[in-house]
Chain A
C-alpha cells in the first residue's frame, strides 16, 4: 500500500516548522511518530500535499521536572515514557497506560503529543491527561498558549489545536504522595484500541475519599471525564455500593459506537467494569 504523492519537509527547529505550516496552510500535516497518520495515508483516508516531520527537532523530546509539575516534550515516545525513572516515581499512571498502548515496535515511534493531538477517542493518553489534570503547550504564529486537557477534545479527530499550531509540551501536575492510580484497559489483543478503559487517580484520607479523578477511553466521540461518578465518591468511604454507584454514573455518560469490539451495550457495561476495577486497584495502591 502506497500513499498519495506528497512533499516531505524535516525542519530542525520549531520556528522553521511553524513557517512551513504558515506557508502550506491546511495542505500540510504534521508527522510525529507516524503510526496513525501513515496508515491513514496508505489507506488513502488522508492525502496531505505536504508532510512536516517533527522528528528532527531535538527540543521536542525529553522528560523533566519543573517545580511541582512534570514537563514532557511532545515528541517523547511511548517507550521513552515507559523507561523513564522520573515518571515511574512521580506519575506511575502514565507509565501504566503507556505500557498498554499498541505494541513494542509502535511504541518506539509513537509519541505522547501525536497520541493526544490526533483527537482519536481510541487513543489512551487523552483520558489519562483528563484524569491527571494535564495541560498542553501549543505554539503558533501568534506565540504560545497553554490549554487544559479538560475542554481540549471537541469531537472525533477534532481538538482545540489549530492547523497552524504545533503541540510542543505536555505539563502534568505531580499527584500528591500516597495517591493511588490505575489505568484499566480491556482490549481484544496486543495492539488493539480499548473496547473500554478507565483512568483513575485516588487520594484517601482517614478512610474516606479526599479526591478522585475518573476518565474514560473510547466510549464516546471524545475521552470522557466522569464528573458525576467522581462527585458520588468524594468525602465517602469506599465499599461495594460506592463502587457500583460510581460505575453506574460512569456508564450513564457513555455513548460508544458499535463495531467489531462489540455493541454499545457491551462496551458501556465494560466501561462500568473498568471503572470498578480501576477504583479497586487505585484504592489498594493509595496510602
Chain B
C-alpha cells in the first residue's frame, strides 16, 4: 500500500511524515512526532481526550486521518505554553483545581482555547454547552467550568 508524504505545521513548526492512508492523526502526533499531550481515551470520538486544534477547529484526533492534514495548522497542548510561562488556561486549571487524575486535561484545555477564541466572554451556560465534547471521569466539571471562566476574564484583561 502506497505511503503518503504529509506535511503540516505542528505548533508553528513545519513537520513531515510518511504514513499509510489509514493512520489516525492521534497516532502520528504521539508515536511519530513525540507529542504525547493529546491522549488516547475512548478511541471512538466520544471522550475528547485526544482533542487538538486543526485549522481553527477543535477536533478529535482519533477520528481524523493524518492524510487529511496536508498543509494544515495543528495546535496541541504543547503549543499553548508560552515563553512567559503557562498559558492563562493552564494557570487557571491549576488555581481552580480543575484536574484530579489529569487524563482529560490536555483535551479540556485545548478545547477551551478554541472556545475562548470564538467566544471570549462566555456565560456559564455557553461554557457547559461548548465544552460538552470532553469527558472528565473524575467528574471535576464544576472546577473545569470555573477555570475556563477565570481564564476568560484574565485573557480579556490582558490579551495575549
Binds B, one of A22-30, A32-40, A207-215, A265-273: A32-40
**In the assembled complex, how far is the CB of residue A39 from the closest CB belonging to chain B, in whole angstroms?**
6
**In the assembled complex, how far is the CB of residue A74 from the closest CB belonging to chain B, in whole angstroms?**
17
**Set of chain B residues within 8 Å of A237, measured between Cβ atoms:** none
**In whole angstroms, what is the CA distance A246 to B19 when docked?**
55
Query: Is A68 interfacial (CB-CB < 8 Å)?
Result: no
Fill in one digit per residue for A29-71: 1 if any B CB lies within 8 Å of its CB, else 0: 0000011001100100000000101010000000000000000
**In whole angstroms, what is the CA distance A191 to B46 when docked?**
7
**In the assembled complex, how far is the CB of residue B41 from the closest CB belonging to chain A, in whole angstroms?**
12
**A106-B68 in contact given A8-B21, A35-B45, A35-B63 (Cβ < 8 Å):** no
- Determine whether the beta carbon of A105 is less than 8 Å from that of B22: no
**Set of chain A residues within 8 Å of B4, measured between Cβ atoms:** 8
Binds A, one of B9-17, B52-60, B85-93, B148-156: B52-60
- Determine whether the beta carbon of A2 is less than 8 Å from that of B22: yes
**Set of chain A residues within 8 Å of B60, measured between Cβ atoms:** 105-106
Query: Is B82 interfacial (CB-CB < 8 Å)?
Result: no
- Determine whether the beta carbon of B133 is less than 8 Å from that of A7: no
**In the assembled complex, how far is the CB of residue A244 from the closest CB belonging to chain B, in whole angstroms?**
32
**In whole angstroms, what is the CA distance A4 to B129 when docked?**
35
Interface residues of B in 58-84 (CB under 8 A from A): 58-60, 63-65, 67-68, 70
- Determine whether the beta carbon of A2 is less than 8 Å from that of B45: no
**Set of chain A residues within 8 Å of B68, measured between Cβ atoms:** 10, 34, 53, 55
| B4: nearest chain-A partner, CB-CB | A8
- Determine whether the beta carbon of B22 is less than 8 Å from that of A108: no
Interface residues of B in 17-34 (CB under 8 A from A): 20-22, 24
**Set of chain B residues within 8 Å of A35, measured between Cβ atoms:** 45, 63
**Set of chain B residues within 8 Å of A3, measured between Cβ atoms:** 22
- Determine whether the beta carbon of B21 is less than 8 Å from that of A39: no
Among B22, B59, B70, B111, the one with the most A-chain Cβ atoms within 10 Å of its Cβ is B22
| Cβ 8 A contact of B64, one of A6, A8, A34 | A34
- Determine whether the beta carbon of A103 is less than 8 Å from that of B133: yes
- Determine whether the beta carbon of B20 is less than 8 Å from that of A5: yes
**A39-B45 in contact given A8-B67, A105-B133, A106-B60 (Cβ < 8 Å):** yes
Query: Is A1 interfacial (CB-CB < 8 Å)?
Result: yes
**Set of chain A residues within 8 Å of B158, measured between Cβ atoms:** none
- Determine whether the beta carbon of B133 is less than 8 Å from that of A104: yes
Interface residues of A in 86-130 (CB under 8 A from B): 102-106, 108-109
Query: Is A190 interfacial (CB-CB < 8 Å)?
Result: yes
Query: Is B105 interfacial (CB-CB < 8 Å)?
Result: no
**A7-B43 in contact given A34-B65, A105-B60 (Cβ < 8 Å):** no
Identify the A interface with B (CB < 8 A).
Answer: 1-8, 10, 34-35, 38-39, 42, 51, 53, 55, 79, 102-106, 108-109, 190-191
Identify the B interface with A (CB < 8 A).
Answer: 1-2, 4, 20-22, 24, 43-46, 48, 51, 57-60, 63-65, 67-68, 70, 111, 115, 129-133
- Known contacts A105-B45, A105-B58; 7 further A-B pairs (Cβ under 8 A): A5-B20, A10-B70, A53-B68, A105-B48, A105-B111, A109-B57, A109-B63
